[in-house]
Structure 1
Amino acid sequence: MRTNTKYIDIYTQIKYDIESGKYPINEKLPQGRILAEQFNVSELTITKAINLLVQEGYIVRRRGSGTFVKDFSNSSITKFTPLSGTAALHDGDLTSTIIGFSAEVPTAFIAEKLGIDAETLVYKIIRLRTIKNIPSIIEYTWMPLEVIPNLTTKELQNSIYKYIHDELKLTIKSAHVKISGVRPTALEKAYLKITDNDFLLQQEQIAFLSDGRIFEFSIAKHIPSEFNFETVLIANEHG
């Protein structure tokens, strides 16, 4: 399968232009048509690059007005660190049960989250994560085959992140994480041994490689007693 990474080059250049001040905070970016002419690519390629910058918190779309540079130095987007995967966070205490593993055409929602075309195949992975013999997490994960090739059940039962680092020689850089409380589905009630009266903490994550490519979109639903999220908040000097 041919991989078109031109949008990654454009994403990298625009990101550099923002960080270097060529496009100041709150300034409107050139229209997609103008950027397409500047980089000699299609507007679709520009849209994919812009989508990455939106997901990384560098720019924001304002309906009817255009795309503007955000104050990325004080971004409200939470970055999850260290980005090492569930297996590393619970080293020795975690076991995985594969509920589902397939390659499929993504829905429009998943394609948008991964920044890919609708015809690009993705892995869909559903796993139960058991921590210290307690069923604790249901993970739904989507990864593009062209970015993370040759996954097998061996990696799913151990650590996909370790496979990415050790076997594919790729560097995992960052993730955007959103946390919310949700009620369990029938599948989650069965595997996590909970009822309609319980709730789960949902961690929605988009994860990036060092070259800017999105390699994962995941939704992990945790029982609250086994969920631990830690981050660092830095105060705005203008307070």
Structure 2
Amino acid sequence: MVQNPLYRQVADKIREQIRSGGLKPGDALPTEVKLQQQFGVSRVTIRQAIKLLVEQDELYSVQGSGTYVREQRIKHDIYQLRGFSEEMSSTDRQASTEVLDFAVMLPPPRVASALGLTEQERVVYAKRLRLLDGKPLIVEETWLPLAMFPDLSFEVMRRSKYQYIEQEKGLKIDRSEQEIAPVLPSPDICRLLGCSASDPILEISSRGFLSTGEMFEFSVHHFLTREYKFSLVAKR
């Protein structure tokens, strides 16, 4: 049986410390000298192990400061149609929402086309910032037909949009059709997510459908990708 290279063995041991809670998110990794003493290997081996863990997003380095344990990225399954609150309920972290804008308006051409409306049919527009443990993760813009949701309110959008649709309106959500693209953030998105204009983010545009086949929403989400990882299952 071929044994893993020494640096991979060291990387595995550091990873085990992270998984067991011996090293927690935000903790600084011990110095290279201390790691050498701990594992009984050369400095070159330690540096290779750290480089591997940085590449695998287990650690991150800050120039002139040190190497730190990265907060685990949130797993987003694109095949599961769940709201932000539902998705975060499986974690032990605190999800919250800030409604940045809420209005009844005439739809922009892109929105009218996506929802199959005329540009004279009004929509409810909401812009929300989704946060986890107080840190911004997603900027979401949503447009819903006013005729379908005349009682949709600011308070509803502070909570769960899907819960309102399914439990209060008694409608069954069937599916979402999504388009995913990496983009460079606008100045507004940079300000809200605290990212650089040169940091690519992920834009997901989606149309939501009810079980009747009616479209009930068009949304554009901007994800802070350094906090997320996206998963899918491909079958042959």
Interval containing the TM-score (normalised by the shorter chain):
0.5 to 0.7
Which whole-Å CA distance do the structure 1 matches of 2:227 and 2:146 have between them?
Answer: 31
TM-score normalised to structure 1 length: 0.62
Aligned to 1:82: 80
CA contact (8 A) 1:104 1:123 kept: yes
2:234 is matched by which residue type in structure 1? L
1:29-178 aligned within 5 A: 80-91=78-89, 93-178=94-179
Matched, 1:220 2:221: yes
1:28 equivalent in structure 2? none
CA distance in 2, matches of 1:228, 1:155: 28
CA distance in 2, matches of 1:93, 1:149: 31
Alignment of 1:1-20 (within 5 A): none
The 3 A distance-change label for structure 1 pair 149 and 231 is farther
Q: RMSD in angstroms over aligned alpha carbons?
A: 1.6
One-letter code aligned to 2:230 = F
Query: Which ranges in structure 2 are unaligned for 5 or more consecutive residues?
Result: 1-76
Bigger radius of gyration among the two: 2
Q: What is the TM-score when the length of structure 2 is the normalising length? A: 0.63
**What letter corresponds to residue 84 of structure 1 in structure 2?**
R
Shift of 1:175: 0.7
Q: Is the 8 A contact 1:80 1:174 kept in 2?
A: no
Amino acid at match of 1:82: Q
- Distance in 2, Cα, partners of 1:150 & 1:229: 34
Distance in 2, matches of 1:193 and 1:84, equals 25
Q: What displacement does 1:133 show?
A: 2.0
The equivalent of 2:192 in structure 1 is: 191
Distance 2:229 2:157 in 1: 22
Displacement after TM superposition at 1:148 (Å): 2.4
Match of 1:25 in 2: none
Counterpart of 2:125, as a letter, is: K
Runs of 4+ in 1 over 6 A off after TM superposition: none
Distance 1:124 1:209, change over 3 A: same
How far off its partner does 1:96 sit? 0.7
Local SS of the residue matching 2:197: coil
Aligned length: 157
| Identity fraction in percent | 28
Question: Partner of 1:211: helix, strand, or coil?
Answer: coil
Residues 80 and 194 (structure 1), Cα distance of their counterparts in 2 relative to 1, 3 Å cut: closer
Q: Distance in 2 between matches of 1:157 and 1:230?
A: 27
Structure 1 unaligned spans of 5+: 1-78
